Amino acid sequence: MKIGIIAHLKHPIRKPFMGGLEAFTHDITKLLIARGHEVTLFASELSDPALNVYPIMSDMDYDRETLSRFRSHEMSEDFISTHHAYLELMQDIDMMGFDILFNNSLNYVPITMSSICKTPMVTVLHTPPIFEMKRATAKEQKVGNVTYVSVSKPNADAWKPYVNDCSVINNGIDLDEWTFQPSNAKEYVLWFGRIHPDKGTHLAIQAAKIAGKKIKLAGSVADRHYFETFVEPLLDDHAEWVSHCTHAELNTLIGHAEVSIITPCWDEPFGLVVAESLACGTPVAGIARGALPSILNQQTGVLTKSCDPEEIARCIQLASKLDRENCRTHATAHLCRIAMVEQYEHLFSEVIHKNFFRYAI
């Protein structure tokens, strides 16, 4: 298949990844190329050249220190630049001869413009319903040139008022990149990811201390005010911030952790940190929000609907008793990236076949 992949433009699609969406786009592009498809990735210019990148946005103003395009006096300019990047792409997309467009942009323009394109599109809903996307999807369905996919069932359910028909393909990871650790020294619990209010980092620290556990934090600061106000004051001999670490270092941190604490404070659509933790054999304790309850089972995690650190601490104690082998087995059965890409390939074939007959009639 000849596949055009439309990426999110907030960050380049390259390591180190700023979030799960960048990791997903990089991983699935690489996989589709390896599996023999002719793939073009429409992304910003600093994206990984191994992904056959067709740059649609300059990274001249991308700040490599803050890992952001946003500066207070340039936010409107950034919005306009992103709008025009997608607009120009979609105006020319039919001339590029793709069999299918694989849209991971989180932007309304590709969906809105799909109505004037003959090339069919599969759009992945990586977030809960957001304003501009809600309006775009509702309007587009009157034409029906887009097929929608959600990364989890809870997220698909959230989109039901706006998307009539939405299949579910769970995200997957490369299990070979995450080493299973059958045992741990019970020296610490771990929280890893972007340090941001949405991730509830401070709740994890408070809960670990209540549970009598030393906690390590691994991740970049995505919100400096939140870090300095709520997280940094909690750091001490029992709460250590590791900051940036390599993949190998993170693998070791997860694998040797007694429990991974995952504390979403919003309805997170998936969360690759869950899959990565289970692949290493590390059970999960945390807050039952978003997709988290649908990814875990009773053998792999203990959750609470409360944000109370006392309740999360109870979950940590219970999760520490779970069998690590069950965690790896669950990841292998349900969170493998090969199964994920095979499902996307099957969906692409179905959509292309349907579109052929649509225009042949």
Per-residue CA distances from 74 to 61, 77, 78, 183 (Å):
10, 5, 6, 50
The two domains 2-172+336-360 and 175-334 share their CATH topology (first three levels equal): yes
Contact status, residue 46 vs residue 59, Cβ threshold 8 Å: yes
* Residue 358, pLDDT score: 62
Q: What spatial distance separates the first Cα and last Cα of the chain, rounded to whole Å?
A: 22
How far are the Cα atoms of 4, 105, 151, 270 from residue 125, in angstroms, in the given order? Answer: 17, 9, 7, 11
Residues 6+ apart with CB under 8 A from 344: 28, 32, 102, 122, 149, 169
The span from the CA of 176 to the CA of 256, in Å, is 17
How is residue 234 written in tokens? 């909690």
Q: What are phi and psi of 83, to 5 degrees?
A: -55, -50
Cα separation, 296 vs 305, in Å, equals: 14
pLDDT of residue 267: 92
Fold of 175-334: Rossmann fold (3.40.50)
Average pLDDT per block of 10 residues along the chain, 361 residues long: 96 85 94 98 96 92 61 62 93 96 96 93 94 88 89 94 91 94 92 94 98 96 95 97 88 96 94 95 97 96 98 98 98 95 97 74 50
Question: What residue ranges do the domains of the chain occupy?
Answer: 2-172+336-360, 175-334
Taking all residues of the chain, what is their mean pLDDT, rounded to a whole number? 92
Q: Is 297 left (phi over 0), alpha (psi -120 to 50) or beta?
A: beta
Omega prior to 55 cis, within 30 of 0: no
The two tokens of residue 255 are 């694998």
- Per-residue pLDDT reduced to its tens digit, 340-356: 999 999 999 999 998 76
CA pair distance 140, 163, nearest whole angstrom: 10
**Separation between Cα atoms, residue 10 and residue 82, nearest integer Å:** 9
Measured CA to CA, the distance from residue 210 to residue 204 in angstroms comes to: 10
CATH class of 2-172+336-360: alpha beta
Residue 265 exposed, middle or buried by CB count within 10 Å (0-12, 13-18, 19+): middle
Could you tell me the pTM of the whole model?
0.86
The whole-angstrom distance between residue 42's C-alpha and the CA centroid of its chain comes to 18
